Amino acid sequence: MKHLRAEFPIFAAHPGLVYLDSAATSQKPQIVIDRMNRYYAEENANVHRGVYELSESATRAFEGSRAVIAAAIHASLEETIFTRGTTEAINLVAHSLGQIVLKPGDEILLTIAEHHSNIVPWQLAADRFGAKVRFIPLNQDRRLDMQEAARMVNSRTKIMAFAHISNVLGIEHPVRELIALAKSVGAATVIDGAQGIAHLPVNVRELDCDFYAFSGHKVFGPTGIGILYGRKSLLDRMPPYMGGGDMIEKVTVNGSTWNILPSKFEAGTPNIAGAVGLGAAFEFLKGLDLGKTLAHDRALGLGLVNELKRHFPKVRLMVEPGPDWIGLVTMSHETIHPHDLAAICDTEQVCIRAGHHCAQPLMELFGLPATARVAPFVYNDENDMDRFVAALHKAEKLFA
């Protein structure tokens, strides 16, 4: 989408840059950068506490961003909590929800394809409350084995947590089926939407999930800011995750009471500039047709897959494309380590990801320490994919 590329100043700053690592973090459009700069230049004050106009202006900007984001995901304002990102959001849920639903012998059901941020918090919660973490396996085509998932769900299942889209496979999980399984036994559902939010329309009411978490930097926004959607009936019952300013109603020497939602879960001075930047990112997102952008990403990914199959017999793909695939291409090479491939690509100004992608259980399933990942996005085109292919040819010649 060449008309969009001009919106991202990094490409003017680095002529010839091919950025294919958007699953790790997206580039930022000028509208986001300008909005954050304007906050610091013209509106800088703390929010909620001040009774002077500058503080009230900052508060309006901060809460205005919350309103834009809440409307985009079809949540209420009190259910839309600012966090530092997906990781903090899931840790919040694991810590606070665990206190009201988990007891010894209970089970937390994840998928084997999860990011560490949707594994480690649940392992910590299981250790704390005496619960057990179990993992839904993949079937032969590396999609979730839903028959096995149905067998694993039982009366001890209290929480099911899963990604909307796998950051390694690029596969959209059948989240509605997973939510239905959870509801059949009264389990709470937590969706890691870090990859989903940038590629798919998200309507938490239609999904009927209990929690949905995502990071701003995956969806054109700044780092250090994210969102947790939580069902109000659960948020009301959950204890605070952190204590401090703004999350309290009253503090005495004998104890404290808590503020109303969402402030109950927003202790301390928030990332105000990040929040207004994320609001601007969602304004930018509103101007995109997500159906067209997803088709664009898939087309680029499919073109690369076909090229790899035709001309690179030593390349092994981690998953075959299908209608549930977003265009992300993860691969290994028989003779080139992923880190070496990424280093060669860098000499050609091509940015790809190499490593375990914070998904070591999945890498262990593959029998690999690491893979290389190419993640096309709205500002990429066929020339970018050709540049990666040329870099791969160069790497094969060097490592022949």
Residues identified as active-site: 358
- HEC states along 54-89? HHHHHHHHHHHHHHHHHHHHCCCHHHEEEECCHHHH
Angle, helices 272-286/53-73, rounded to nearest 10 degrees? 40
- For 83, phi then psi, to 5°, come to -130, 180
DSSP code of 260? P
Strand 107-111 relative to strand 132-136, pairing: parallel
Burial of residue 53 (CB within 10 Å: 0-12, 13-18, 19+) is exposed
What is the CB-side half-sphere exposure of residue 110 using CA atoms within 13 A?
25
Between the alpha carbon of residue 180 and those of residues 109, 155, 169, 175, the distances in Å are: 14, 14, 23, 8
DSSP string, 160-172: EEEESB-TTT-BB
CB 193 within 8 A of CB 162: no
d(C-alpha 265, C-alpha 97), whole Å: 12
What is the CB-side half-sphere exposure of residue 296 using CA atoms within 13 A?
18
Beta strands in the chain (DSSP E): 18-19, 80-83, 107-111, 132-136, 157-163, 188-192, 211-215, 226-230, 248-252, 255-258, 315-317, 329-333, 350-351, 353-355, 371-374
d(C-alpha 334, C-alpha 93), whole Å: 41
Residues 6+ apart with CB under 8 A from 272: 39, 46, 47, 58, 61, 62
